[in-house]
Amino acid sequence: MIEISAAELKSRLDRGERLHLLDVREEHELDRERFEGAEHIPLLELLWGERAPSCPADAELVILCHVGIRSLEAARFLRAQGYPRACSLAGGLAAFSSLPPVCGPGRSGPEALSS
């Protein structure tokens, strides 16, 4: 699976599954909103080999961006670089932020995004 839906990601985070989150947006985009707990590596730094995810290559890696285009490119790139479980958040953070808030403790719905 190269993409994961926003609903599936939310469900898995709600269950407490260990996922490595990688945000490939540019630094200035983080000024508007951040995804709590996500590692940040801008897409070009990743593609140019300047930086790599801090997780083991066999970790389940979910890549985030605004609408899912850059994260899909990053997922394809990382799979070719030996991260077989890299996947893109389909629709990006725009899709994730449209989900209803989580009920009860935890921060896995849109409330995981901070301004």
Q: State the pairing for strand pair 113-114/34-35.
A: antiparallel
45-92 pLDDT, tens digit each = 999 999 999 999 999 999 999 999 999 999 999 999 999 999 999 999
| Element (DSSP H or E) covering residue 106 | none
* DSSP structure string for the chain: --EE-HHHHHHHHHTT---EEEE-S-HHHHTT-EETT-EE--HHHHHTTS---SS-TTS-EEEE-SSSHHHHHHHHHHHHTT-TTEEEETTHHHHHHTSPPPSSS---SGGGEE-
- If you average pLDDT over every residue of the chain, what do you get? 89
Please give the pLDDT value at position 104.
45
Please give the pLDDT value at position 2.
94
| Dist. CA 79–CA 109, nearest whole Å | 27
Of the ranges 42-46, 69-73, 96-100, which one carries the lowest mean pLDDT score?
96-100
Task: Return the CATH fold of 3-99.
Answer: Oxidized Rhodanese; domain 1 (3.40.250)
Asked if 17 and 59 touch (Cβ cutoff 8 Å), the reply is: no
> What is residue 42's three-state secondary structure?
coil
Does residue 111 surpass a pLDDT of 70? no
